[in-house]
Structure 1
Amino acid sequence: MGKSTNIYEYHFERTSQHPTPEDLKRLIFSYDKSASEALHRLVGPQERGHRDLYTLVAEYRKTDSVVGELWIEITTIPEWVNWDQIERGQKIFWRYGGASITALVYLSLLGGMGSGRTVETLDRTGGFDAAVVRRRLLETAQHTLGVHKDLVSLQPGGEGFLASVRVRLLHASVRNRIMQLAKTEPAYYSIEDYGIPINDLDCIGTICIFSTMMIWMGWPRQGIYLRQQEILDYLALWRYVAYLLGTPNDWLSSPESARKMMESILESEIKPTKKSKTLAQNIITGLEGVPPMFASRSYQNALAHWLNGSTLATELGIEKPSFWYKFLTAGQCLLFALDGYIKRSVSSWDERNVKFTRRIIYAALIYDKSKGALGYKAKFPFKWIPDLVRTTTPLGKTSEANIKSSGIFSPGAERVAFITLLVFGLMIGCTFYILSWI
């Protein structure tokens, strides 16, 4: 028997097989040297601008041995990769599309700000300033969508493959830049306290928020429980993504080891700071009243509390929701759960649902700029560059226009949740009425 542990309303039994805090601490001083060294050879730590780093690597792979080694690594398919399984794993994201997007935003990304040590790096990039955070999240979503799009997308040269490699190179650029600034001004960033920027533990934690936290927290807290084969397939998908990102990935080889890693990270790393509160608040501010959700701040607060638990949400400075917004959140979860369970029960329905959801989400987040989508394919350039002038991200404020365009009367999530509850309530009422006459 293990030790019963409760971390922010997530309960588990800690055993001797769980990574210890000492095991995890060692990982903050190791990192993806292949990408960092290759980028140092190509652009140096002073890199600025919008050059496509992937194109640079491809161009110099034959003339520079260090760059060539990185190229061989990213284009070599590990022997444990099973493409059929990865393709099944990709479909899971679309099968539960609405719940997937909601969990990624309000659990994985917003809740992930609870890692105070990791936030020290995010805070210095400026990418979570309230004025730019929506675009930053849309670019992150584009990587996520590319990873799940289809099998060709994740194979060498595909959309998801290219996005993953570009994100890896972006991480190396940020790492090199902050380490260079820390040498110039030691007070800017403490490697002793926070570890190497974007270290192995940070990267494992990032993979966790997109994989294990979805499986055992994000979907279940919306009423969706994956089948065992779905769990195996989703972990296989994200193990390959971790490999492309230069992240240690053996812990994803089984559900048992993957879950234990997630639980140890929750216990060791989730320690919110003042900066955690700022970045979490900026995410809500940046998404208030904008398409495609047109969500009010109150509704987003309710989602944050529902998915992260009230203890963590409160420590992140998220206001407690009223009963009305809890009620609406329950309606949204009811819709997502019923939709997912019904459609997955028949294979032909499932296939149509996957294709339809993929098309709708791509249009809403990437293609249809008139409706607030990104409108372009991101190449993840080094845009938000740390410097010694802007050493922290300020707390943002919502514009009056965004506040007015949010809420239940806007064509977004709150209206859909309300309609779901209304229809469900009418169905129950009609059922009881009919039964009373039998």
Structure 2
Amino acid sequence: MLSSKTDANYRKRWGYSFQWTDKHLAPEEIAALRSHYDELGSTALEKLQAIIARTKTDSKREVNCPFRPELYTVFKKHHHEDEVLQQFWDEVHSVPEWVDWEQIERAQKFFARYALANSTAFALQGFIRENSASPGIAEVFARTGGFSIKNLLSRVIETFTWVVQVTTSLESIQPGGEGHTSTIRVRLLHASVRQRILKLAASRPEYFPVEKYGAPVNDLDSMHAIVLFCCMPMWDSFPKMGIFPSKQEITDFIALFRYISYITGTPNEYFETPEKAKAVMETMFLYELEPNKTSKILAHNFIAWLEDQPPPYLSRDFMEAGCRWMNGHEMCDALGLGRPGLYYYAVFAGHNVIVSTMAMCQKLIPALDQFIIKIMLISLEVRGRSPSNS
């Protein structure tokens, strides 16, 4: 239980209260993480770009031959030719001794079990709060055009497809599987984004103030992304919808994303236990959520893109009610979101009743639970392999 507000260890930020412990990250540690990034991934990217440049030169003799090789394809074909690329290959394809495949498989079923709740959390907290209200992440998205209305569809589809691929089956997340390969692509994409922004910032420092935000997609940003997927549902978004995962479910899901953090070059030791992972999440609440002007634009664009779109045809009022339910009035006011009438809060409350009742029924009726998981896994696999999502 939380101690009195007069307790020196009591913290409250954006409506979330917790006790500060030695597992939480000190400001000095946060600064160190912000100043560091995935150097091996960045070096590997440069090596791959050099190989592609040589290949383009050799292909110039071919007439009308468009040549835009995909990074992972080049990586797979040429990794044995370069020491750095071989090191990178060996790292992402090795399996740490702490990985338990049975635990990983249970975690994947957890995602399918609560697919609707996970999707709600992903949209209303992941995009609206965590990505928009974290200045460093928001500024990167703004520089890459990822949250402009015209680019939002591809951004959401790409992210959702990746989540589906890493949770749809054990074979998919194991080395060589579709989800594993997609995660390596994400790591190379992050290195590419970082390289592009840093090059522009080198000649125009005002373009992206590195001294303020650190390098784009730094270790702290990457940890924040892991927190968004595996910690926020457990201790923030799910309880707000009336769902309370078991200790085993929490441990399993954290373990899955610890392995994903390993593949992406993110410091994975912070996710060794649920206690350490929760402390990282709470540290992010305290220090990393600081909405600015860019945050308001991104949040507005996301809601504008979703408004009245098929198949759900969600109204702006409903989405803003959901945002306020999930993120609190203080955060939503800082993001410039509207205050809808009580009717829309009641409608969102009805959504939560449906989601939480289904979760309770699945816990009480194992056969129903297995049926829902099976149906959701089939549905997610179809979506993940859909041509429009590839």
**Structure 1 equivalent of residue 63 of structure 2:** none
Instruction: Identify which of 95, 98, 111 aligns with 1:80.
Output: 98
**Structure 1 equivalent of residue 123 of structure 2:** 105
Query: Is 1:22 matched up with 2:41?
Result: no
**Structure 1 equivalent of residue 283 of structure 2:** 264
**Structure 2 equivalent of residue 248 of structure 1:** 267
**Structure 2 equivalent of residue 128 of structure 1:** 147
Instruction: Identify which of 314, 321, 334 aligns with 1:295.
Output: 314
Q: Secondary structure at the match of 1:61?
A: helix
Q: Secondary structure at the match of 1:12?
A: strand
User: Residues 7-46 of structure 1 correspond to what in structure 2 (within 5 A)?
Assistant: 7-43=13-49
Query: Is 1:213 matched up with 2:232?
Result: yes
Please tell me whether the aligned partners of residues 28 and 194 of structure 1 are also in contact (alpha carbons under 8 angstroms).
yes
Instruction: Identify which of 314, 317, 325 aligns with 1:306.
Output: 325
Segment of structure 1 superposing worse, 61-70 or 9-18: 9-18
User: Residues 401-412 of structure 1 correspond to what in structure 2 (within 5 A)?
Assistant: none
CA shift in 2, pair 1:110/1:362, >3 Å: farther
Q: Counterparts of 1:27 and 1:229 in 2: how far apart (Å)?
A: 29
Q: Counterparts of 2:217 and 2:297 in 1: how far apart (Å)?
A: 20
Which deviations, in whole Å up to 9, do the C-alpha atoms of 1:87-114 show, x marking residues without a partner?
0011111111111101011112211111
Q: Secondary structure at the match of 1:6?
A: strand
User: How far did 1:191 drift?
Assistant: 1.2
Q: Secondary structure at the match of 2:388?
A: coil
Superposed CA RMSD in Å reads 1.8
**Length, aligned pairs only:** 370
**Structure 1 equivalent of residue 292 of structure 2:** 273
Which deviations, in whole Å up to 9, do the C-alpha atoms of 1:165-216 show, x marking residues without a partner?
1111100000111111111222211211110110000000000000111110
TM (norm. structure 1) is: 0.81
Which deviations, in whole Å up to 9, do the C-alpha atoms of 1:58-78 show, x marking residues without a partner?
111100111111000000000
User: How far did 1:350 drift?
Assistant: 1.3
User: How far did 1:293 drift?
Assistant: 2.2
Q: Counterparts of 1:268 and 1:308 in 2: how far apart (Å)?
A: 16
Q: Counterparts of 1:50 and 1:133 in 2: how far apart (Å)?
A: 24
**Structure 1 equivalent of residue 62 of structure 2:** none
Q: Counterparts of 2:389 and 2:75 in 1: how far apart (Å)?
A: 22
Q: Counterparts of 2:29 and 2:301 in 1: how far apart (Å)?
A: 32
Instruction: Identify which of 184, 193, 212 aligns with 2:212.
Output: 193
Please tell me whether the aligned partners of residues 2 and 15 of structure 1 are also in contact (alpha carbons under 8 angstroms).
no
CA shift in 2, pair 1:376/1:50, >3 Å: farther
- Code of the residue aligned with 1:52 in structure 2: it is E
Q: Counterparts of 1:267 and 1:58 in 2: how far apart (Å)?
A: 41
Q: Secondary structure at the match of 1:43?
A: helix
Please tell me whether the aligned partners of residues 157 and 389 of structure 2 are also in contact (alpha carbons under 8 angstroms).
no
Query: Is 1:4 matched up with 2:7?
Result: no
Q: Give % identity.
A: 36
Unaligned stretches of 5+ in structure 2? 1-6, 57-66
CA shift in 2, pair 1:258/1:270, >3 Å: same
User: How far did 1:13 drift?
Assistant: 0.8
Q: Counterparts of 1:25 and 1:118 in 2: how far apart (Å)?
A: 15
Please tell me whether the aligned partners of residues 366 and 375 of structure 1 are also in contact (alpha carbons under 8 angstroms).
no
Q: Counterparts of 1:293 and 1:65 in 2: how far apart (Å)?
A: 50
Please tell me whether the aligned partners of residues 164 and 384 of structure 2 are also in contact (alpha carbons under 8 angstroms).
no
Query: Is 1:170 matched up with 2:189?
Result: yes
User: Residues 133-144 of structure 1 correspond to what in structure 2 (within 5 A)?
Assistant: 133-144=152-163
Please tell me whether the aligned partners of residues 104 and 256 of structure 2 are also in contact (alpha carbons under 8 angstroms).
yes
User: Residues 377-392 of structure 1 correspond to what in structure 2 (within 5 A)?
Assistant: 377=390
User: How far did 1:163 drift?
Assistant: 1.2
User: Residues 305-384 of structure 1 correspond to what in structure 2 (within 5 A)?
Assistant: 305-363=324-382, 365-366=383-384, 375-377=388-390
Which deviations, in whole Å up to 9, do the C-alpha atoms of 1:335-382 show, x marking residues without a partner?
00001110132322211111112333455x5566xxxxx7232xxxxx
Q: Counterparts of 1:40 and 1:284 in 2: how far apart (Å)?
A: 37
User: How far did 1:274 drift?
Assistant: 0.4
Unaligned stretches of 5+ in structure 1? 369-373, 378-438
CA shift in 2, pair 1:190/1:240, >3 Å: same
Q: Counterparts of 2:358 and 2:248 in 1: how far apart (Å)?
A: 20
Which deviations, in whole Å up to 9, do the C-alpha atoms of 1:16-66 show, x marking residues without a partner?
33111221111111010111001011216x999964211111111100111
Q: Secondary structure at the match of 1:313?
A: helix
Q: Counterparts of 2:273 and 2:106 in 1: how far apart (Å)?
A: 16
Q: Counterparts of 1:155 and 1:362 in 2: how far apart (Å)?
A: 16
User: How far did 1:269 drift?
Assistant: 0.6
Instruction: Identify which of 102, 108, 114 aligns with 2:133.
Output: 114
